[in-house]
Structure 1
């Protein structure tokens, strides 16, 4: 790093390795708590027990043992741990948001760090999230409606699939969401397939391999193995959802996974449409399609999902009225959440 101009060497091996992981973040260590001297930690455990027969053998214990005339036993064992001097016990750091040119910013709010998306790869960005158009800039406020409009053909393709196929796909994706690593693996495999490559499924865990194969079987049932163009489009549509899921925060993905029943997804889709419109219109939970959110736990879950995606739901009164406001700030979180919700709702 150049001290005077605050620029990182993007060719450094550590930077390259960190950047290769979509969720890896660089940080600056700001403080730490260390031991100044060797610190012994001792745990003394005293156990009591009863003996129901005469003891005729001698047992060696790692500690002290005694027996009373009543037949009860008492054991005393010590466990010691030595912590060397200069051992870090706790620390705090500030995340960095690193731009492609090596310049960086300090993030005072956690989970905002990472690397600027490099658009040098045609069709895909380096963090695994699909390229949504040539003018998408993660450092500028989004025109959410415009970005979603570009993807409408993908959503339309998913919505016209047979009902049983949509239901099976939704269940597969819901199950995959329970494991963040499985989402990333599925995204990588679909990424390769959409690029015309043949991924090596033998390297996958059995459950991951079964999920990939189940998705391929469902696609083949719908279009047949000979209809390559339609098959490719359908795989791209599924990849779009999985890629958006992979772009969400861990907590956001977990909350979304708990909202994957069709009625809830339909309600979330209505909210996403209002966010994209950007009108700040007042909505009511009595509106058609939103009534399911009158259940307080579901509303709280929905509010949390949107908050994790930089979108605010503001309750106006106790009459179930609220507004949906997109927080204007750089980042892709509102977009990936909207894509995931729209895609899953089309399968519901």
Structure 2
């Protein structure tokens, strides 16, 4: 749930049974053109274990983020194979054009707000046409939007191989994500697919998901992403592409 603006009236929310409702209020101040956000430590419980959110391990924070957002990707599984295939091919085309992924993310954002604009990029327009012509539900659009946001959190050159890799490669990456979510220690099989081998184009992704602190630290610094954010967007990108790739 996102709430923007100010309200002087009382608001009532009805929370369904067996559901969890949480909120956080943060004061943002603008002083002399600079934004100031007060950072306060808060505690929450996960699987019965209480920990401080500010000082949490990046792996724990990433797991929380993945668990909360993964459910939003599930509507992609309900799409016909042909639609999923067209969307995946559209993402591949978008990634071939510099900055087009960011344009697509912005276009989807505007569309979700009821302010659709015709993007200048032909590949982005083609992708939006697939969504419009397929008459997908709002939940599917939200799932696509989340996937694009996750992919846009990674360098385009690094995410391109993910959208075009073979099913067996993507399956291994999904298994690593599942192990990460379960709190296990993810590890590659003895003989991984070529893209996940030492000099493979997606080996960096496997190393990050396997908890390689050295690789995670290096990429976090190079891509200006906090470790937990890098883990989360990579995992969501893997899960989203896997759902689009699907099965016949």
Distance in 2, Cα, partners of 1:251 & 1:10: 38
- State which of 121, 131, 147 in structure 2 corresponds to 1:241: 147
Contact 1:256-1:305 at 8 Å conserved across structures: no
* Structure number with bigger Rg: 1
| 1:299-327 residue CA offsets vs partner (Å, 9 max, x unmatched) | 222212345xxx16xxxxxxxxxxx2253
- State which of 99, 106, 121 in structure 2 corresponds to 1:205: 121
Distance in 2, Cα, partners of 1:199 & 1:136: 37
Contact 2:95-2:101 at 8 Å conserved across structures: yes
Matching residue of 2:179: 274
Distance in 1, Cα, partners of 2:55 & 2:91: 26
Contact 2:73-2:240 at 8 Å conserved across structures: yes
2:211 is paired with a residue whose SS is strand
User: 1:233 offset after TM fit, Å?
Assistant: 1.1
Q: Which runs of 5+ in 2 are unaligned?
A: 1-29, 40-51, 218-225
Distance in 2, Cα, partners of 1:268 & 1:343: 12
Distance in 2, Cα, partners of 1:170 & 1:298: 21
Matching residue of 1:253: 159
2:201 is paired with a residue whose SS is helix
Structure 1 residue ranges, 4+ long, deviating more than 4 angstroms after superposition: 9-12, 135-140
1:101 is paired with a residue whose SS is strand
Distance in 1, Cα, partners of 2:212 & 2:185: 8
Q: Which runs of 5+ in 1 are unaligned?
A: 1-8, 16-99, 103-115, 117-134, 224-230, 287-292, 313-323
Structure 1 residues 207 and 170: alpha-carbon distance in aligned structure 2, compared to 1, 3 A threshold: closer
Matching residue of 1:160: 78
Contact 2:153-2:233 at 8 Å conserved across structures: yes
Contact 1:278-1:325 at 8 Å conserved across structures: no
1:171 and 2:76 aligned: no
Structure-1-length-normalised TM-score: 0.47
Structure 1 residues 333 and 163: alpha-carbon distance in aligned structure 2, compared to 1, 3 A threshold: same
RMSD: 3.3
Question: Would you tell me which structure has more strand in proportion to its own residues?
Answer: 1
Matching residue of 1:101: 36
1:141 and 2:27 aligned: no
| 1:153-174 residue CA offsets vs partner (Å, 9 max, x unmatched) | 2222111222222112111112
Higher relative contact order (CA 8 A, sep 6+): 2
Structure-2-length-normalised TM-score: 0.64
Distance in 2, Cα, partners of 1:334 & 1:205: 30
Distance in 2, Cα, partners of 1:283 & 1:267: 8
